[in-house]
Each structure stands twice: as C-alpha cells, then as structure tokens.
Chains A and B, each alone.
Chain A
C-alpha cells in the first residue's frame, strides 16, 4: 500500500494518477478470529485499529452491515469538543480530543482536523450563571475554556445578529474545539487498520450470537458463522437490536437526530456556534457548506430521516443567529439514529454476556469520542480490564446508581 506523502503525490501525478492502490482490501471473512468488532463506523474501526496497533492483535475482523462510515459517522455535524461538566467526562473527552490532534499524522491520512474553536452562548441571567459555572468546571478539570461578555462575542463572530430574539449575553469559547472531515476519520482508521492486518468486511450483517454458558463463542452472519471469543459491539442506535439478539436489554432509547447542509458559499464563518435557546448549532465546512444541526425528534425512531417540525425550528434558530443566511438554500437533510441513555454518558465495557463488550450510549455526541472510545474499548477487549478513563462508564452504573448526569450538568440538548 502506498504511504501518502508529498513524494508519492508527485510520483502518482507524473504517472497520470494510475498508480494508486485501494486504501483497504475487500475482506472475506475467515472461520475464526481472535476478536470480532461489529459495526464499521468510527468507533468500530478505531477499536480494531488500536487493538492492532497498541495491543499487537493481528487476527481481527470488522463486520459492517452496510458500508463503512455510512451510519452516524457519516451523518453527524463533525464537531469536536470537550466542554463537559463532570471530571470523568471532561477527562475522557479531552483525551479523545488530544488523540484527534495527532490523528492525521498517526494514521497517515488527512482527517482535516480544524481547530477553529467552539462557542456556546448564554441568553439570560441564569444562562450566564450556568456558563460561568461551566467555564470554571472545565478549567478545574484541565480543559481549555474562556468566558466572554456578549459584546466581545459579537466582535469575534462577524455576521452574528446583534439583536436576536434570544439575546446573546455571554459566550463560552473552547479554543481547542473544532471540526474534522467525518468520512476521512472512518477511512483513515480503516486504511490504517487494514495495513495492520485487520479484515474489514462490508455488507455483512450479524444475525445472531453463539453463546455457551453465558460466554460468547462466535457470531452468526449473513456470510456464515464466525468463531470468536472476544466481540466488540459498536453499533450506536442499533445497540438494543443487537443486544436483543444476544439475549439482554440495554438502558437505551433510539432517536433520530437531524442535520442539514446548505449550498456551498465563500468562507463566512470561521468557528463552531451553539445557541442553547433554540438548540441550533452550526459551522462552515471547508467545502463552504453551512452545516446545521438541531435537537432530537423526541420520539423513538429507527428511520434515518427527520420530521418537519424540528427542521423548521432549527432553520428558524439559524436565521435568528445569522439573518443574512435567510436566502441560503438547504441542499440536503438527513438523520442519524442515536443511542440516548438516561445520564447522557456513554456505556463502555462489559455486557451481561462474557466476552461481549459494549461501546454505545454516545447519544448525540459520538463523533468527537471516536478516538477515545476506540482506544478504551480496545484496551478492555485486549486486557480484560477497563481503561482507567472508561471505568466510570460501565453498564453497571445503572444498577449501582453512580450515574454521571451530563444531561443536567452540561445542558446537553435532550
């Protein structure tokens, strides 16, 4: 496989771009693997990559029902941040952010990580108090955060409406936050994992699990049975469906989360903006599209499309923040199925079935957690013990009551 560099680019250019080889092999499943990862999204591919690169496992398969990166990895708004409240969350998401910072180099694949900062606004007195509290919490927990008065926010974000329906009284800026190219994250991990011997098998649905005396022995798939004593499950919104096939339930409800992009424009917005008053968040992609996200469609859904009321609400929120976008046309609209848990904190680690490990519960914020989630799950699968950063995220917390309630604390929008 060609290593990407200025030299390889020049050489391929001189030979008419005919020398490039596929970034990963067409995988065909073998009968047995040391570890099988279900779900070829960012988290699944990252898990396979770290199993191979950090733990030296060679015999790994990633099984994907559709095509890799075709689920939530390809459907999110690509925001990367660590603006949480509790120490456990900030530590974990900041670790994930730091992995993102070095990811292009590590994977030899340009994931287009752009550290453009992320803003969260406050619209009333209580919002301002909460924002100050968030800034202090983030700084105490070691993440970067700045508090800015409303006038300063307006000065720093050109085009922001000075008199919106919900006034902007203050803003929290996380300068290290930003965006990345979502497909490139999946493709980069896939290419790097493939190079370390991981089999990436697309169009392969897992239809059942072989479980003997409470321990996993393999998976049944549309391409035949595969034996494996360690299986990782990273299927986001479909976690409950897979758990049912393995004979247990999860504390998850699946919802549709919508996003939209506009037609491409010249660069106008150089940061990420979140307005909690309307739940609208937006950024501009390197291609020039305004990428907009909103709140959940608040009823259970497995349909990868959204409903009109949320779209209208989000569009209204967008126009309120940036009135000059009112005549910009939306080109595409879609939804991803997100796995929401009660405390908006992920589930990482053991399941009720021995040898079957969980990576789910990311809710509306899985993309930023891809490197961290993959790293921690790989550690757990390889060593049998939780990585210290992920230990508080066990499924058992729903029984013990040790919930980490980010939904209330950092005001996650659902």
Chain B
C-alpha cells in the first residue's frame, strides 16, 4: 500500500488516488506539421523506467488535485511530490 502525500490533503492511502501515467508528456506544439512517427511517440511510446520514475497522480476520492510524484518503480518509495507545473526536482539518487 502506497502512502501518498497529497499537496492539499496530506498523507492518504493509495486507494484514494489514481495514477495518470508518465510525466511530463508534452503534446506536439504544431499538430498540423507533426508526422505520424512523432504522434505515435507522443500518444503511445513511454520510457517505462525500472527504478526512479516520474508520474502524475490524481486525488480522485479526495480534493481532486492533480500533481506529480517521483517514485521508485521497484521499491515503490516515493522520493518527492511536486506541483503539476513545477519543474522536475533534482533528487539525490540521480546525482
């Protein structure tokens, strides 16, 4: 069971949240001139890292806030929680 520290509500159980996948994923800026390969890359292709990963979570059964989480996908340890538009934090384990 993950204990996720919602920036608004504080620590809550995993079952209140929904994971929204990898973060950040940026939509191509000029859709009309984006080719199929770049669209596929944006739509479907993911880093899917083993180890430190960055993802979005949604406090579905709580305040409804979306935010970012840095989490290890093997140990499930949460290393940072940061706002939706905040830059990705530099973590000690990355240095």
In the docked arrangement, what's the CA distance between A42 and B5, Å? 40
Partner of A299, one of B44, B45, B48, B55: B55
Q: Is A301 an interface residue when CB atoms closer than 8 A count as contact?
A: yes
A303 near B46: Cβ-Cβ < 8 Å: no
Query: What residues of A have a CB within 8 angstroms of the CB of B21 in the complex?
Result: 253, 300
Proximity bits, B65-95, A CB within 8 Å = 1, else 0: 0000001011110000000000000000000
**Given contact pairs A238-B50, A300-B73, A309-B14, A398 touches B45 in the complex (Cβ within 8 A):** yes
Considering the complex, which residues of chain B in the window 27-73 have a beta carbon less than 8 Å from any beta carbon of chain A? 36-37, 39-41, 43-51, 53, 55, 71, 73
B73 proximity list for chain A (CB < 8 A):
254, 300-303
Knowing A298-B19, A307-B1, A400-B36 touch, does A253 contact B46 (C-beta < 8 A)? yes
Residue of A whose beta carbon sits closest to that of B76: A303
Q: Does A156 contact B (CB under 8 A)?
A: no
Nearest first, the 7 closest Cβ-Cβ pairs linking A and B are A251-B44, A240-B48, A299-B19, A399-B40, A302-B50, A309-B15, A398-B40
Residues in A with CB closer than 8 Å to B40 are 251, 398-399
Cβ of B18 within 8 Å of any chain A Cβ, yes or no, is yes
Q: Judge whether A308 is part of the interface by a CB distance below 8 angstroms.
A: yes
The dominant DSSP class at the A interface is: mixed
Question: B9 on the interface (CB 8 Å rule)?
Answer: no
Residues of A within 8 A of B13 (CB): 309
Hey, which bits of chain A sit against chain B, CB under 8 A?
238, 240-241, 244, 249-254, 298-303, 307-309, 341-342, 398-401
Determine the chain B residues whose CB is within 8 A of the CB of A250 once the complex forms: 45-46, 48
Decide if the interface of chain B is mainly helix, strand, loop or mixed. Answer: mixed
Residues A303 and B75 in contact, CB atoms below 8 Å apart: yes
Q: How far is the CA of A152 from the CA of B85 in the complex (A)?
A: 55
Tell me the B residues contacting A by CB distance below 8 Å. 1-2, 13-15, 18-19, 21-22, 36-37, 39-41, 43-51, 53, 55, 71, 73-76
Please measure, in the bound complex, the distance between the C-alpha atom of A298 and the C-alpha atom of B56, giving whole angstroms.
Answer: 12
**Is there an interface contact between B18 and A398, defined as CB atoms closer than 8 Å?**
no
Q: Is the Cβ of A398 less than 8 Å from the Cβ of B44?
A: yes
Q: What are the residues of chain B within 8 A of A251 when measuring CB–CB? A: 40, 44-46
CB proximity of A173 to chain B, nearest CB, Å: 34
Chain B residues, CB < 8 A from A253: 21-22, 46, 48
CB distance from B55 to the nearest CB of A (A): 7
User: What is the chain B residue whose CB lies nearest that of A251?
Assistant: B44
Is the beta-carbon distance between B37 and A399 smaller than 8 angstroms? yes
- Whether B50 lies near A249 (C-beta < 8 A) is no
How far is the CB of B51 from the nearest CB of chain A, in Å? Answer: 8
Q: Assess the B14–A300 pair: CB atoms within 8 A.
A: no
Contacts of B55 in A (CB 8 A): 299-300
List the A side residues contacting B41 at CB < 8 Å: 249
**CB pair B53 A300 closer than 8 Å:** yes
Question: Could you tell me if A240 and B47 are in contact, using CB atoms closer than 8 angstroms?
Answer: yes
Beyond A253-B22, A300-B21, A309-B15, 7 additional contacts (C-beta under 8 Å) are A251-B40, A251-B45, A298-B19, A303-B75, A303-B76, A399-B37, A399-B39
Given contacts A241-B50, A301-B76, contact A307 B2 (CB under 8 A): yes
Q: Which residues of A contact B19 (CB under 8 A)?
A: 298-300
Residue of A nearest to B4 (CB): A299
Residues of the A chain whose Cβ atoms lie less than 8 Å from the Cβ of B76: 301, 303
Among A251, A341, A399, max chain B CB count under 10 A is at A399
Q: Say which residue of A238, A252, A298, A302 sits within 8 Å of B46 (CB atoms).
A: A252
